[in-house]
Chain A
Amino acid sequence: MSSLAIGAGIAVLGALGAGIGIGIATGKATEAVARQPEASGDIRTTLILGCALAEATAIYCFVIALMVIIMLK
């Protein structure tokens, strides 16, 4: 049981990448808005879309962790 928990925890470590990715994207978006405030609408749409795509990595980690717990039980 405890090794299962450790395995699921390791699987979720991959969410690190999503965090870094969304952080970089948001930072760049902030820069872009500061440079061109009139384009903030387009930038926001693109940022939300990019975040949703980057989030997918974390979601995969979550699905795999869940599968580790449920399938190997």
Chain B
Amino acid sequence: MDWLIAYIESVMRLAAPLMFAAMGGLISERAGLANIALEGKLLVSAFAAAAVAASTGSAEWGLVAGVVAGAMSGWIFGASTVWLKADHIVMGTAFNLLVVGVIPTLGKAWFGSSGSTPALGTEARLQAGVGFFIAGVALVLILNEALRRTRWGLRVHSAGESPNALLVQGVSPRRVRIGAACVAGALAGLGGVILSLVQGSGYVRDMAGGRGYLALAAIIFGAWKPYPTLAACLIFAAADSAQMLLQGKSVFDISVPASLIQTLPFIATLTILALRRKRVSAPRAINQPL
């Protein structure tokens, strides 16, 4: 049974950053902002958190910095797409590319490195165990209720489905979208903080390793709804963790090449997506200028 507990713990750890990134992405997508910039946001906030934690020696300030950096990049994304009417996909791609260039530049100025921060000691890291996973599940529960029942949730929903309905009520859909983008950025920022301060000890260049895109896949897979998106994150994490356990094991005395086992999560994703019967559709006003 030990291996089962270890497996569950591993799934929780792998799922935590995905869940925060996915919930952030979900809010912004529901508000009508196609959010391909999740990867960049994870990187920015992971770097900001690690850089501040390394400079101040305080994990708490690192956490704050990561969330603020996430929210700020959310604001930049929201403002550029809403006020400047940029195409969301183009803007998101530009943001991801910008991050790849800006972080090494800052790292060089700050630490004389080429993108990574110095390794953090224990005091500058957050010791949370599975705390962030539990917080993530709580977030999903709250978000599910908030999107359905609160005024904020309904406005976000309208901004994504029919912005004109908001205008009729005298609410600015632009403001709703930008607000949602900031909240989304802050949540994705928490995901970045998990990467560099909780699970890692410092920032390593491009450490998100595609988790932002995986989170986006989870949202689409979860039909832009919190619970199915959470389920998707858990499935991805479970497949990934199984992949790690199975590497190097032999099946019926045949040793399976590690690279084949490593494709398991992708095969699982494809299979489940192919087996989905229901057609899913994105929020109607997504990527439409206001």
A binds B: no
User: Which residues of A pack against B, CB within 8 Å?
Assistant: none
User: Which residues of B pack against A, CB within 8 Å?
Assistant: none
